[in-house]
Chain A
Amino acid sequence: MMRRYRWSGLAVAAAIMLPFLLSKFQTFQATQIMVYAIAILGLNLLTGYNGQISLGHGAFYAIGAYVTAILMDQAGAPYWAAIPVAAIICFGVGFLFGFPARRLGGHYLALATFALALAVPQLLKWRMIEHWTGGVQGVFLDKPGAPFGLPLNSDHWLYYLVLAHVVLLFWCAANLLRGRIGRAIRAIRDQPVAAETAGIDIARTKAIVFGVSATYTGIAGALSALVIQFVAPDSFPFFLSIYLVVGLVVGGASSLWGAFLGAGFITMVPNIAAEISKGATGLIYAVAMIALMYWLPQGISGGVQRLFVCVSRRRRTAHPSGEG
């Protein structure tokens, strides 16, 4: 039991210390990486584990962010109440989206989610709901400060708030994937007919996975609204959805912690590229991506896993008595 959480426990301990070693801007970046990691984890549950493709997860990110912003701005809700509401709404939208999606194949789903990602930024500019969404201007929020008189500045507080969500959500995902439901999720991806014959309700499971996935990405969006204290239609361009897919592919669809590597990539690489050359940011980004996919087709986490396998094999051949 304790062994299972040994590495995660160490990682969390390190994450708790981290802000004291970072500058204000670096703390902000670390917070942003964790937010993206939650979003990519959501996409990974859907695509990596369940085999459903989404090119529109930016839409759920946007919905999570806007629900939070509107609840805080219009209804004066505290952020700790707004985030769960955003999560529930995203689950509902994702679930409804996942139900019809199941009857039609993977290409349909790719197209439908693509359409969703294109539609949402337009929808957010819609006149009829402008007094809620602020139209193109968006909504500004106050920066949440630490509660209970905790001796933390608001940047640190935001970091720990996001970290707490990371811990909870990754713990839930690990629990989910470990047991009966996790096996069903992966069985559907590998062999749908055999999965259904074994008693797995594919339609229901896929819809719920879509809902859970949207919940994760929606919570990430909600947290991003707090971290940036601003939402506007242009904060959620279609490319956000593509970045999330890039993060998933780069991190590797085979592991949970790969989400952090993917999130690091989509947060840091554009910045680094911009430092190298302002004009060719997109080009450098694309080259970095292609290089990664060429050398590490299973993502960074897949590459690291392969490295471990190689090392342990070599050790085994060095000591043949070790294992039969």
Chain B
Amino acid sequence: MNAVPPLVSVRDITVRFGGIIALAGVSFDVASGSIVGLIGPNGAGKTTLFNCLSRVYRPNSGDILVDGASIMQVPRHVVPHLGIARTFQNVSLFDSLTVLDNVLIGGHSIGTGGFFKSAFAWPSVARDEAGLREKARALLAFANLERYADAPARDLPFPIRKRVELARALMSDPRLLLLDEPAAGLNHDEVEVLRAQILRVRTRFNLAVLLVEHHMSLVMSVSDRVVAMDFGRKIADGPPAEVQRNADVIRAYLGADAV
């Protein structure tokens, strides 16, 4: 019936690091506009999967399709053009630059003007830059970061840094946003703000979210679907309530004795 391929389709991905098998034949789809939670204990392979999606790691086997086309030959810097943007588990900001510049770098892929035109102050460069800045300011407002715009990223507290990363990721007009543990290090109130933000991001920017999180109540409340992993394998995939009740999932989190 449905001839439109899913936004992203992960097909039987395997990643090995020496003797460690980080991902062992994982498959799942992300439909456009959906929020998919990705859970699993430490070392389950969640970040490794993100790294495959953003072409930081090359899987040993398997394939990843975006709009039905393989991305295995796509260079890393072309990934934003496919509509995929991400945040990093450890937060990877450009520390010597201001918050505004960090967000502007997120818009590199939608900007124009190379070395030559920039160096000689081509009129189109100034126009393009003004457009990018307007957009970046709007995203700073969205992430409640306006007052940090001109602060160097290095001096900021961790929760603020995470919001800068979110704004940076949104700058490239992604269709799929990869969030790697956005709630880690946040207090209760900040998690509530994040929960609203994730839902708002989807409706406002019309994108899909793949959310890696250990914060169960957050994942379960915002996700349309949850994928659970353990030791590199997918152990469950379905609606949040179903995955929460899944025996393998409970065992993975509580240990074999608990069941």
Contact = CB atoms under 8 A, between A and B. Distances in A.
Quick one: which of A176, A183, A184, A202 has the most chain B CB within 10 A?
A: A183
Given A179-B113, A181-B118, A199 B81 contact: yes
Nearest to B147: A324
Contacts of B106: 198
A187 B96 CA distance: 9
B92 A193 contact: yes
A223 interface: no
A301 to B, nearest CB: 15
Contacts of A194: 88, 92-94
Binding site secondary structure of chain A = helix
Which label, helix, strand, loop or mixed, suits the secondary structure of the B interface? helix
A248 B76 CA distance: 33
A209 B81 CA distance: 23
Given A191-B93, A193-B92, A175 B77 contact: no
A175 B121 contact: yes
A297 to B, nearest CB: 15
B86 interface: yes
Given A187-B97, A198-B172, A199-B77, A180 B119 contact: no
Interface string A72-87: 0000000000000000
A180 B129 contact: yes
A176 B125 CA distance: 10
Given A193-B56, A197-B86, A198-B106, A181 B113 contact: yes
B14 interface: no
B255 interface: no
A234 interface: no
A198 B108 contact: yes
A222 interface: no
B120 interface: yes
Name the residue in B78, B81, B113, B115 with the highest tally of chain A Cβ atoms < 10 Å from its Cβ.
B115
Interface residues of A, number: 27
A200 B129 CA distance: 16
Contacts of A181: 113-115, 118
A142 interface: no
B79 interface: yes
A70 interface: no
Residue of A172, A173, A198, A212 with most partner-chain B CB within 10 A: A198
B80 A198 contact: yes
Given A176-B115, A193-B56, 5 more contacts: A172-B120, A194-B92, A194-B94, A199-B78, A199-B80
Closest 6 CB pairs of A and B: A199-B109, A194-B92, A199-B80, A190-B94, A172-B119, A199-B108
